[in-house]
Amino acid sequence: PGGHVEQNETVEDAVVREIKEETNLYIQPKFLFYHDEIFPEENWHAVVLVFHAAANGTVKLNEESTEYRWFAPEEALKMELGFSHEKVISRWIGSRA
């Protein structure tokens, strides 16, 4: 899931809301780190906020999704990912050591 922070909403509240809206799961997020990357060719600055959370509930997808799957971080690195997610996942794996 992904999304944006609404006006007068904390980042943590936005994470909880987006996960609930898109998966029907409830989480208590713990901020780990952020990763930012500038793409001058596209005049774009990406900021990825990384949280850790255990999820409670039963997954029910909304209209934005047709399926879901869970992946180990190492497995996800073998996939074609968008944005800077390879760097983010690699950094998270390194922080667990």
User: Out of 41, 42, 67, 80, which one is annotated catalytic?
Assistant: 67
**CATH code of the domain occupying 11-96:** 3.90.79.10
Query: pLDDT tens across 43-71, in order?
Result: 999 888 999 999 999 999 988 888 999 99
Domain boundaries, the chain: 11-96
**What is the structure's pLDDT at 11?**
94
Which burial class, exposed, middle or buried, applies to 20 when counting CB atoms under 10 A from its CB (0-12, 13-18, 19+)?
middle
- List the end-to-end C-alpha distance of the chain, in Å, as a whole number: 26
Q: Is-catalytic flag, 67? A: yes
Structure tokens at 29: 């997020």
- What number of CA atoms fall less than 13 Å from residue 44's CA on the CB side? 8
Record the pTM: 0.80
